Amino acid sequence: MLGKKLYVGNLSYSATVEQITALFEDFGEIKQANVIDGKGFGFVEFAEDEQAAKAKDELDGILFDGRNIKVDVANPSGKKGESGSKLYVGNINYNVTVEQLTKLFEQFGEVTHVNLLEGRGYGFIEFTTQDNAQKAKEELDGKDFEGRNIKIDFAGKKKDNQRPNRGNERYNSRY
């Protein structure tokens, strides 16, 4: 394992930095710990890779404050999930809330971010892993949600029917 910083997910929304620090401190020197308020996840950074590896091995999946926590190496690129873990969700009923969308997708794994563009009928869901995103896509694509059949695809991929960037074509054809 490469990395001293761990992602800690599926935390109770009432979890504190002090509680997380107390849980992880037996594994070595903690350089920094934080909990993202109201999101159910946080990070713990150790002084040594080996300390983080041991904490990950021993704490991943344990019951903590009534929930089985997820402990994994934090993504060093600063992205919220691994590559391919972000989904585009389209044809969403305009009355759907972030909470409803989160609840729908949480059944497939840890959701790290939800971006619902209100009044636009689409949004984005990001998971901690690509596998969880894939499961959600397979199960929910085309299914009815709040009266509309939602469309799900991996974010960032262009569809075959999208128009090409016409600006580049004009310059390329002249020279």
Range of the domain at 117: 86-154
* CB-based burial, 149-175: b 16+ in 10 Å, e otherwise: ebbbeebeeeeeeeeeeeeeeeeeeee
Instruction: For residue range 62-112, list pLDDT tens digits in order.
Output: 999 999 998 988 765 444 444 578 999 999 999 999 889 999 999 998 888
Residue 108, domain member (yes or no): yes
Same domain, 56 and 97: no
Residue 13, domain member (yes or no): yes
- Which residue, 27, 50, 73, sits at the end of a domain? 73
Distance CA 128, CA 80 (A): 7
Total of domains in the chain: 2
CATH number at residue 109: 3.30.70.330
What's the confidence (pLDDT) of residue 107?
92
Same domain, 57 and 11: yes
Same domain, 119 and 140: yes
Same domain, 105 and 132: yes
Once rounded to an integer, what is the mean pLDDT over residues 156-160? 55
Same domain, 104 and 139: yes
